[in-house]
Amino acid sequence: MMSRLLPIVLLLLFSCGSSNDPLQNDSWVLNSTYAYMTQTEQMAAELNYTEKVAFISDGLFLKSQTRDGETTTIEGRWVANEQNGNSGFRVTYAQNHPLIRNCFVEPEEFYFFSGDLLIQSDFTPCDGPEYRYVRSPD
């Protein structure tokens, strides 16, 4: 059943815009982090950085973080995937970077939907927080 839902999720993901541009993107901004060890949520406004991720329809993925007025952007490739019963997107990068949050050797991350949130939680097995994004208004 999940494999039948994946095309619907992808359709919904890219049908939000009215453009026929093949490079249309779906952008999300960091809303909060959640630490399971302490069961505390920290809102993005309390962090000393902002972060945005974008899924471009041709498979390009961009993650940018702005800290102290300087923006760092990394690039990866996304594909629809399923992990632990969650339909979402596996993002792979050409090389490791501090903005890639996971507990394994491969430079990759997995993003999935939970309600209106886009979640990246590959860092939680290492006691890192879960990153929660909301759809960007622009």
Q: Are residues 91 and 97 in contact, defined by beta-carbon separation less than 8 angstroms?
A: no
Pick the CATH number of 28-135 from 3.10.450, 2.40.128, 3.40.50, 2.60.40: 2.40.128
Three-state DSSP at 69 gives coil
pLDDT at site 124: 85
Type of residue numbered 1: M
Mean pLDDT by 10 residues, the chain (138 residues): 41 40 74 94 96 94 97 96 92 95 92 93 88 90
pLDDT at site 27: 94
Q: Are residues 78 and 61 in contact, defined by beta-carbon separation less than 8 angstroms?
A: yes
Query: Is the entire prediction scored with pTM above 0.85?
Result: no
CA angle 107, 79, 89 (to 5 degrees): 75
* Burial state string for 70-81 with b = 16 or more CB within 10 A and e = fewer than 16: eeeebebebeeb
Q: Radius of gyration over alpha carbons of the chain, in Å?
A: 15
pLDDT at site 24: 63
Domain boundaries, the chain: 28-135
